[in-house]
Structure 1
Amino acid sequence: MDNALMIGLTRQMTLRRSMDIVANNIANANTTGFKVETLLLENSPARTAEHSDGPSELQYVETWGMGRDFSQGTLELTNRPFDFAIEGDGFFGLETDAGTEYTRDGRFHVDNIGQLVSADGSPVLDADTRAPIILDPNAQNVRIIDGGAVIEDGAQVGRIGVFDIVDRGALSKEGNGRYTLELGPEEAEPLAMFDAVVRQGYVEGSNVSSIVELTDMMQIMRAYASVSKFLKDAEELNRSAIERLGKA
């Protein structure tokens, strides 16, 4: 295939992927704890098609990975006693069948056996024991104090696990605002943050800026149209060249 067509097609593929990501960001603008995502690209050198002159190497564009902005989202007041938001760094730890998962979505509730659980029923881990937090369903007053300590009728019954993940690039998205952590053979589990600021009666909103995402969407559409025109012009040039050669 012609070099120009190959370059144009690889760029169109990455632009389509970028559009999917921007559309997903916009769709999650109101999703609790969602973090905005960006497609990361890299140049990929490759040999050109056979020719007698011109460059010997071309630069194609390929997907390198996914970038996530973990900056703080807006804290939204709900006044529900088991809604929690982290102010600053850290992630809530959840116990799942696949192992520990991490999230910024603090919409919790107490299940029928007294465990503090996430929206889908995954137990919230205790910072001290890394075991589920058990509450008394008949307790009259449950509140959170400094460092996430859970105070039930005046007595501490647990501490909401907020964990410090230094290498956020090692987080793998699992969906529903959840992440798993890929640890090396000599790496330890993330440490609990006993100085974490946990706000009761709040949830953290998405950090998506709809205006920015809509602007990015328009830029992607213009870039795609420009590449499409480039490919059309290149195809027309090739056709004209072939016609002239046929008449020679």
Structure 2
Amino acid sequence: MNSGMYSALSGNLAAMKRLDIISNNLANVNTPGYKKEKMSFESMLAGSANPPAVPQGTTADPILQKENVYIDYVAGPVAQTGNPLDLTIDGEGFFVIQTPEGEAYTRQGNFSRGADGTLVTADGFPVMGRGGAIRVQGSHIEIDAKGVVTVDGTVSGTINVVDFPKPYNLVKTSSARFLPADSQITPQPSTAGIRQGNLEGSNVEAISEMVQMIETSRYFEACSKVIKGYDDIAAKAVNELGRL
């Protein structure tokens, strides 16, 4: 394959992946606690250290796009809701929730009361306290900065907030749930406080994402034109040779 066409095709594939990431970010612009994904890529020459996906020709090594997808953990904007079950972590850390696969971690604090009186996430997973699930059966619920839950004057438990070593090495299991990439990593208690009646929103900036989408779309179109140009040259060469 022509090295120029290979590099253009590599750019096309990278642009398609970046468009998928941007589209997913925009789809979650209103998801509480969502952390946007970003993608960076750099050009590098294919060779023995970075073999291409197709056999190399005798021309110069083609240019590949080295992709790096990562999560931006910057806190989203906090809005006051007045809902006593809306909670925001004031600092670094994650709520602990119980899923069928085990414990997971999230900053999505739009909790509610389950059918059995358990504090649950929007997906129905129990929110874990330091001694188990938190019960919020009652009419007056107060949650202080340390996560102590008081229901009708009686302490019901303390919400567990944990943190991980930096830089975070976590993987997403849903739009706002995380698991450590290394199962050997043990979360540590977080020193962050909790604010009741507040909710952290998505950290996606819609305008910025739209600008990146336009830029990436133009890049994709430019690469497509280069590929078509090489294809036209190849077709013309075949036709001209056929006349000889």
- Cα 1:8–1:148, aligned 2, differ >3 Å: closer, same or farther? same
Per the alignment, residue 36 of structure 1 pairs with: 36
Consecutive unaligned residues in structure 2, runs of 5 or more: 48-54
Q: CA-to-partner distance for each residue in 1:132-165, whole Å, 9 max, x for gaps?
A: 1123x23x42211122121233343211111112
Consecutive unaligned residues in structure 1, runs of 5 or more: none
User: Matches of residues 61-210 of structure 1 in structure 2 within 5 Å?
Assistant: 61-64=65-68, 66-126=69-129, 128-129=130-131, 131-135=132-136, 137-138=137-138, 140-167=139-166, 169-185=168-184, 187=185, 189-193=186-190, 195-210=191-206
Residue 6 of structure 2 contacts residue 63 of structure 2 at CA under 8 Å; is this kept in 1? no
Aligned-partner Cα distance in 1 for 2:24–2:37: 9
- Cα 1:223–1:230, aligned 2, differ >3 Å: closer, same or farther? same
* 1:58 paired to 2:62: yes
Task: Output the TM-score relative to the length of structure 1.
Answer: 0.86
Deviation at 1:239, TM superposition (A): 2.8
Q: CA-to-partner distance for each residue in 1:192-232, whole Å, 9 max, x for gaps?
A: 22x32211111111111111011101101111111111112
Letter in structure 2 aligned against 1:200: Q
Aligned-partner Cα distance in 1 for 2:243–2:106: 67
Aligned length: 237
- Cα 1:92–1:168, aligned 2, differ >3 Å: closer, same or farther? farther
Residue 145 of structure 2 contacts residue 195 of structure 2 at CA under 8 Å; is this kept in 1? no
Residue 93 of structure 1 contacts residue 162 of structure 1 at CA under 8 Å; is this kept in 2? yes
Deviation at 1:59, TM superposition (A): 2.4
How well do the aligned residues superpose, as a CA RMSD in angstroms? 2.1
Residue 91 of structure 1 contacts residue 162 of structure 1 at CA under 8 Å; is this kept in 2? yes
Letter in structure 1 aligned against 2:7: I
Residue 148 of structure 1 contacts residue 196 of structure 1 at CA under 8 Å; is this kept in 2? no
Residue 14 of structure 1 contacts residue 63 of structure 1 at CA under 8 Å; is this kept in 2? yes
Letter in structure 2 aligned against 1:134: R
Task: Output the TM-score relative to the length of structure 2.
Answer: 0.87
Letter in structure 2 aligned against 1:183: D
**Runs of 4+ residues over 6 Å off in structure 1:** none
Q: CA-to-partner distance for each residue in 1:48-67, whole Å, 9 max, x for gaps?
A: 7433xx53x23211434x21
Aligned-partner Cα distance in 1 for 2:56–2:170: 39
Aligned-partner Cα distance in 1 for 2:2–2:63: 14
SS of 1:146's equivalent?
coil
Letter in structure 1 aligned against 2:65: V
Residue 72 of structure 1 contacts residue 87 of structure 1 at CA under 8 Å; is this kept in 2? no
Residue 123 of structure 1 contacts residue 132 of structure 1 at CA under 8 Å; is this kept in 2? yes
Residue 94 of structure 1 contacts residue 125 of structure 1 at CA under 8 Å; is this kept in 2? yes
